[in-house]
């Protein structure tokens, strides 16, 4: 069983149930049992999909492009 929760920075994170701490990509170490659970899934792949969904909901979809298409602001 996997649980999905948010870090204080706003990023969605998942962890295996029973894990004591989890480190977010922002560098903060989180105590998992003190977090509000947003979702629970059976498999890690489902948890990863849920994290992706929550991130896109909060920050919008990821847009990938090449460097030559980025506008030059100089």
Q: Where do the structural domains in the chain lie, given as residue ranges?
A: 2-59
Question: What is the Cα–Cα distance from 61 to 53, expressed in whole angstroms?
Answer: 9
- Comparing 5-9, 19-23, 50-54, 58-62, which segment has the lowest mean pLDDT? 58-62
**Contact yes or no for 9/24 (Cβ under 8 A):** yes
Architecture of the domain made up of 2-59: Alpha-Beta Complex (3.90)
Its pTM stands at 0.76
Predicted local distance difference test score (pLDDT) of residue 74: 64
pLDDT digit string, tens, across residues 36-54: 999 999 999 999 999 999 9
Question: 11-40: per-residue pLDDT in tens?
Answer: 999 999 999 999 999 999 999 999 999 999
65: left (phi over 0), alpha (psi -120 to 50) or beta: beta
What CA–CA distances, in Å, run from 12 to 18, 28, 39, 73?
A: 18, 13, 10, 32
Q: How confident is the model at residue 60 (pLDDT cuts 50, 70, 90)?
A: confident
* Interatomic CA distance for residues 10 and 17, integer angstroms: 20
């Amino acid at each position: 069983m996997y649980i999905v929760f948010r870090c204080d920075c706003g990023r969605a994170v998942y962890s295996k149930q029973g894990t004591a701490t989890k480190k977010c990509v922002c560098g903060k170490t989180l105590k998992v049992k003190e977090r509000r659970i947003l979702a629970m899934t059976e498999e890690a792949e489902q948890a990863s999909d849920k994290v992706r969904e929550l991130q896109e909901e909060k920050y919008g979809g990821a847009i990938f492009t090449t460097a030559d298409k980025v506008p030059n602001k100089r």
